[in-house]
Chain A
Amino acid sequence: MIVKDAVCPFCGCLCDDIEVEVEGDRVVAVTNACELGTTKFMGEKRLKNPIQRVGDEWKDITYDEAIRYAADMLLSAERPLLYGWSGTHGEAQCVGVHMAELIHGVIDNTSSVCHGPSILAIQEVGHPGCTLGVVKNRADLVIYWGSNPIDAHPRHLSRYTRYAEGFFLDNAFRDRKVIVVDVRKTETANIADEFVQVRPGGDYAILSALRAIVQGKTETIPRTVAGVTREQLIRVANLCKSAKFGAVYFGLGLTMTPGKYKNIRNAIELVSELNRHTKFTISAMRGHYNVYGSNEVNTWMTGYPFGIDFSRGIAFYNPGETTAVDILARKECDAALIVGSDPAAHFPRRCLEHLAEIPIVQLDPYPNATTAFCNVQIPVAVTGIDAEGTAYRMDGVPIRTRRVLWSDYLSDEEVLSRMYALMQEAQQP
């Protein structure tokens, strides 16, 4: 059987033109997807059933036992953390928010260690953005700043920018200029028309210099700024001002380097400034296929995109205090439910030391670094492969992922709903 127009559950590009060939309960071929997506569709070795750690051993347990264990763990916790969420569908995320509210827990998603600072900048100055198709059809200038799509979002270039067809561009490949700004010459820099090599930590200064040039204050620019010549800065500013439609796509190279959210704020303000001259937009290269969906769900249900603390009944948001890393580093958290992410592979050592001390249940189809910290792991169906549900692309476009094969695994939503039902029952007066 061939499933057409399947949706790739890997990165924020959320490509929806994938052809998946299925034989029985196996994917045997994948067309149109990048290497990352193909690997995900082809699958790795999944856990067969829920497992529980008993001493130094793993014991197979039933879904009922695993779900009961998780519900009891969360109900008896004083400061439960519900973390992850970017690698699952929106319907499951909604259950997670209700659960956090019920048990007065903290719910946080992976953006707190990823594009969290970008969100803080947006909360200060807003976000002039657009859907990816607007860029594809119009942009004659694309800037990748601190992002390397060839490695991280391989089809971003072919679907939306460098190699994409554009309605308003006669010869899109020739007429569309690409600038890459980075600290090293990445693969993406090799296909750029202009490469701006910034000294590490120098992005803020470069952005400020560009803003000054765009405002006509060229004389204030020194001969070099953070390793970039004044001539190149002027050339880049002129390319921006003379473009009919410019688009900036930034990655963690801008968000998580010195300056952090201030970098993003400066970049957004540069783009707002450029809108006085021409049309310009800016967007984050979101990582997980549904990290943006997690921000969206959290926002309509609680008012905040991540790091929400229900300990006082109301939704309370204070990144740096109510975010997962901080709660773990302060050793406050006394139980954690991990869904659709792998914190052990990404969190600081101090957090992991605390994770090793507390009970953890993880919902994930595969064994991962976090498995080593778990008391119980519950394998679930993979959204976009054997489960369907909503995901939000990096530009906010929601797409329903398709199921390409049927398995006996429960979806995240099913497992969480059963857990939530047990918790509601226990809390009935």
Chain B
Amino acid sequence: MTELLVKNACVIDPLRGINGDVMDIAIRDGKIVEEVSDAAEVVDARGMLTMPGGIDSHTHICGTKVNFGRYMSPEDMRAGRTPRRGPMHATSGYSVPTTYGNSYRYSVMGYTTLLEGAMAPLEARHTHEEFTYTPLQDTMANTLFDGNWAIMEAIRDGDIKRVAAIIAWTLSAVKGFGVKLTNPGGTEAWQWGKNVSCIRDPVPYFEVTPAEIIRSVVEANELLHLPHSVHLHCNNLGTPGNYTCTLGSMGLIPDLNPKRQTLYATHVQYHAYGGSGWKDFCSKSEPIANFVSMRPQIVIDMGQVMFGRTTTMTADGPMEFNLYRLHHDKWSNHDVELETGSGIIPVVYRRKNLVNSIMWSIGLELALLTKSPWQCLLTTDNPNGAPFVKYPEIIALLMSKRYRDAEFATVHPDTGSRVPLPAIERELDWNEIAVMTRAGAARALGIQDLGKGHLAPGADADIAIYPLKIDEVDPSAEYQKVIDGFSQTEYTIKRGRVVARRGECLVHGSNATFWVRPKVPENYDMSKDPDFIEKFERYYTVRMSNYPVQEEYLSRNRCIETEADL
């Protein structure tokens, strides 16, 4: 038995409605408990801001395309390197750090749970291997279904239950957590070098539309009672005028789940563009934020862009090719048979570039204009908008109008006429930031009942203690203190152990991977479905028996079993 007592913590725990109370937190064997014995080790938090460990609800940290981002970018690897030191291994990389680099830097910022935003089922084993080397965070993977042949065929046949059955089999096989659609239909079209323009455009050969894919998969997701909702990267990412497509996609979604949203729309900054081309490109954050505020069934994340160099990587292959034609830098693409694809290019977001300045504004506007912080979570779509180490700056921008104005004065001078940002007075408070970075993320991912995102007895003892006295710091004026405070915890506690202190990671942890196993009736078991098996063996290049990710790839793991309504 190990016990730990965090004393005098100034706690913000939004899921329990605790907002700045000074209290003690008792921990036994990795869980929060009511009380511990006098023998417990004591961590004195001295009134410092203490929150549940950070949860990134959309980040790219592990897997085939992330690793290819490293592989093709020695210049990025050189841009951030540390030697082996104590229990910390050597790290490399700035925008796409090595797995240890990701894990240590997130841990130092107080993050204890990460959702990998996109995992191709065929290559899932790779994602899980990298999870093993991301030791200080619990991990889970969104699984890509955007161009899945069997699913598109089932949709064409109008068989939603079969869609659900295919998702159930695949998630169990690849040890996936959530259902991800990236440019639904577009990734399949891209295997012919084509794309879909918006949600009514049919996918070549399969003759289903993105709208049908979205609607059917959302329904199937709810039939399976998965913890997380469908996680959607809308069609048409990055194109001027795409906000109508985004609104159209969100408009497809009924409210099907009382506990959480029915749709999680990710990196919406990239989908909130007005204009008919780059010349009249402008922000459409207002209609998007208003739309979301009126619909509890939708949660979005920001996908904030920050200025500087980064690497873009997404399953959205055609979008990356379009970006390549704009930037003329190196371009990688990786289509995955019968399932999905991906693309990667390095980019630099510049203040002197009008489009980049507008993009920077839009992300902030979405967070400030969406009424409830529970509906707009803080992300950069790491590393697409910026590496996650920029989160503290984003927090400070959201908390300080003065900081925003100071930054706005440095961006492209025409930005003011294209965006509403300068007119927005709202400054988020500490509690709202806690919602956007942990509590809201836990609720949206459906993991609060698994003890994530809050500090109630029984919860996982994942805690971030920041060297910030919230009654002494005025975030509106002292934004540099906010940035510094969120950049480095005083203590990061993971499963009841202090894993990071003042920038140093202290232990080699072992994470847990969360995955789902929906139970389906016998007649919906795809592993026994003759048609499914026959097509699998004919058109995949891996045998069906070699496809599932074996137990060996899950060191510590939590399987979430659900009962499907089929």
Which A residues contact B (CB, under 8 angstroms)?
A: 4-5, 7, 16-17, 90, 94, 98, 101-102, 119, 122-134, 136-138, 159-160, 165, 167-168, 244-245, 272, 275-276, 278-279, 281, 295-296, 299-305, 310, 312-315, 317, 390, 392, 396-400
Closest-CB distance, A335 to chain B (whole angstroms): 20
Q: Is the CB of A16 within 8 A of B546?
A: yes
Q: Is the CB of A396 within 8 A of B126?
A: yes
Task: Sort A-B residue pairs by CB-CB distance and give the 5 closest, nearest first.
Answer: A133-B337, A303-B92, A313-B83, A303-B77, A279-B193
B74, B100, B321, B334: the one contacting A275 at CB < 8 Å is B321
Assembly CA distance A275 to B99 (angstroms): 32
Assembly CA distance A310 to B98 (angstroms): 15
Q: Is the CB of A303 within 8 A of B89?
A: no
Q: A126-B331, A279-B193 are in contact. Are A303 and B336 (CB under 8 A)?
A: no
Q: Is the CB of B344 within 8 A of A126?
A: yes
Residues of A close to B543: CB separation below 8 A: 5, 16-17
Contacting residues of chain B (329-356) with chain A, CB-CB under 8 angstroms: 330-338, 341, 344-345
Residues of A close to B345: CB separation below 8 A: 126
Residues of A close to B331: CB separation below 8 A: 125-126, 128, 272
B70, B89, B126, B338: the one contacting A133 at CB < 8 Å is B338
Residues of B close to A314: CB separation below 8 A: 81-83, 90, 92
B74, B338, B545: the one contacting A303 at CB < 8 Å is B74
Q: A128-B332, A134-B191, A134-B335 are in contact. Are A296 and B99 (CB under 8 A)?
A: no
Closest-CB distance, A240 to chain B (whole angstroms): 13
Q: Is the CB of A317 within 8 A of B83?
A: no
Closest-CB distance, B137 to chain A (whole angstroms): 15
Residues of B close to A123: CB separation below 8 A: 71-74, 330
Assembly CA distance A168 to B338 (angstroms): 12
Q: Does B538 contact A (CB under 8 A)?
A: yes
Assembly CA distance A98 to B508 (angstroms): 13
Closest-CB distance, A381 to chain B (whole angstroms): 16
Assembly CA distance A278 to B78 (angstroms): 35
Contacting residues of chain B (300-354) with chain A, CB-CB under 8 angstroms: 321, 324-325, 330-338, 341, 344-345
Assembly CA distance A281 to B337 (angstroms): 13
Residues of B close to A159: CB separation below 8 A: 541
Q: Is the CB of A313 within 8 A of B84?
A: yes
Q: A101-B84, A244-B192 are in contact. Are A304 and B333 (CB under 8 A)?
A: no
Closest to A399 in B: B546
Q: Which of B62, B101, B333, B538 has the most C-beta atoms of chain A within 10 angstroms of its own C-beta?
A: B333
B71, B193, B539, B542: the one contacting A278 at CB < 8 Å is B193
Q: Is the CB of A129 within 8 A of B83?
A: no
Residues of A close to B83: CB separation below 8 A: 312-314
Residues of A close to B84: CB separation below 8 A: 101-102, 310, 313
Instruction: Give the A-B pair count, Cβ closer than 8 A.
Output: 182
| Chain A proximity mask over B518-561: 1 for CB below 8 Å, otherwise 0 | 00000000000000000000111111011000101000000000
Q: Is the CB of B337 within 8 A of A137?
A: yes
Residues of B close to A4: CB separation below 8 A: 545
Q: Is the CB of A122 within 8 A of B99?
A: no
A98, A101, A130, A137: the one contacting B539 at CB < 8 Å is A137
Q: A124-B330, A299-B71, A313-B83 are in contact. Are A7 and B546 (CB under 8 A)?
A: yes
Residues of B close to A399: CB separation below 8 A: 125, 542, 546
A137, A168, A281: the one contacting B333 at CB < 8 Å is A281
Q: Is the CB of B72 within 8 A of A127?
A: yes
Closest-CB distance, A395 to chain B (whole angstroms): 8
Residues of B close to A244: CB separation below 8 A: 192
Residues of B close to A296: CB separation below 8 A: 67, 71, 126
Q: Is the CB of A279 within 8 A of B334?
A: no
11 CB-based A-B contacts, threshold 8 Å:
A4-B545, A16-B546, A124-B330, A126-B332, A128-B332, A131-B335, A134-B337, A136-B539, A245-B192, A300-B67, A300-B129
A98, A138, A303, A310: the one contacting B93 at CB < 8 Å is A303
Residues of A close to B333: CB separation below 8 A: 126-130, 281
Q: Is the CB of A130 within 8 A of B336?
A: yes
Q: Is the CB of B336 within 8 A of A122?
A: no
Q: Is the CB of B192 within 8 A of A300?
A: no
Which B residues contact A (CB, under 8 angstroms)?
A: 62, 64, 67-68, 70-74, 77-78, 81-84, 89-93, 97-101, 122-123, 125-126, 129-130, 133, 191-193, 205, 321, 324-325, 330-338, 341, 344-345, 538-543, 545-546, 550, 552
Closest to B204 in A: A168
Residues of A close to B123: CB separation below 8 A: 396-398
A124, A138, A315: the one contacting B192 at CB < 8 Å is A138
Assembly CA distance A198 to B77 (angstroms): 38
Closest to B335 in A: A130
Residues of A close to B93: CB separation below 8 A: 303
Closest to A277 in B: B193
Closest-CB distance, B397 to chain A (whole angstroms): 30
Assembly CA distance A400 to B126 (angstroms): 11
Residues of A close to B78: CB separation below 8 A: 317
Closest to B330 in A: A126
Q: Is the CB of B539 within 8 A of A167?
A: yes
Residues of B close to A400: CB separation below 8 A: 125, 546, 550, 552
Assembly CA distance A400 to B331 (angstroms): 29
Assembly CA distance A341 to B89 (angstroms): 27
Closest-CB distance, B492 to chain A (whole angstroms): 22
Residues of A close to B77: CB separation below 8 A: 303-304, 315, 317
Q: Is the CB of B335 within 8 A of A126?
A: no
Q: Is the CB of A101 within 8 A of B71?
A: no
Q: Which of A5, A124, A133, A160 has the most C-beta atoms of chain B within 10 angstroms of its own C-beta?
A: A133
Assembly CA distance A37 to B26 (angstroms): 59
Assembly CA distance A375 to B329 (angstroms): 48
Residues of B close to A398: CB separation below 8 A: 123, 125-126, 129
Closest to A400 in B: B550
Q: Is the CB of A304 within 8 A of B126?
A: no
Assembly CA distance A46 to B351 (angstroms): 64
Residues of B close to A299: CB separation below 8 A: 67, 70-71, 98
Closest-CB distance, B102 to chain A (whole angstroms): 10
Q: Which of A126, A159, A300 has the most C-beta atoms of chain B within 10 angstroms of its own C-beta?
A: A300
Assembly CA distance A153 to B389 (angstroms): 44
Residues of B close to A122: CB separation below 8 A: 71-72, 332
Closest-CB distance, A426 to chain B (whole angstroms): 15
Q: Is the CB of B545 within 8 A of A5?
A: yes
A128-B332, A310-B90, A396-B334 given; 12 more Cβ-contact pairs under 8 Å: A127-B72, A129-B335, A131-B336, A132-B337, A134-B337, A136-B539, A272-B324, A281-B335, A300-B70, A300-B133, A301-B89, A315-B90
Q: Which of B77, B334, B341 has the most C-beta atoms of chain A within 10 angstroms of its own C-beta?
A: B334
Closest-CB distance, A165 to chain B (whole angstroms): 6
Closest-CB distance, A100 to chain B (whole angstroms): 10
Q: A167-B539, A278-B193, A279-B193 are in contact. Are A129 and B334 (CB under 8 A)?
A: yes
Residues of B close to A396: CB separation below 8 A: 64, 68, 123, 126, 334
Q: Is the CB of A165 within 8 A of B68?
A: no
Closest-CB distance, B139 to chain A (whole angstroms): 14
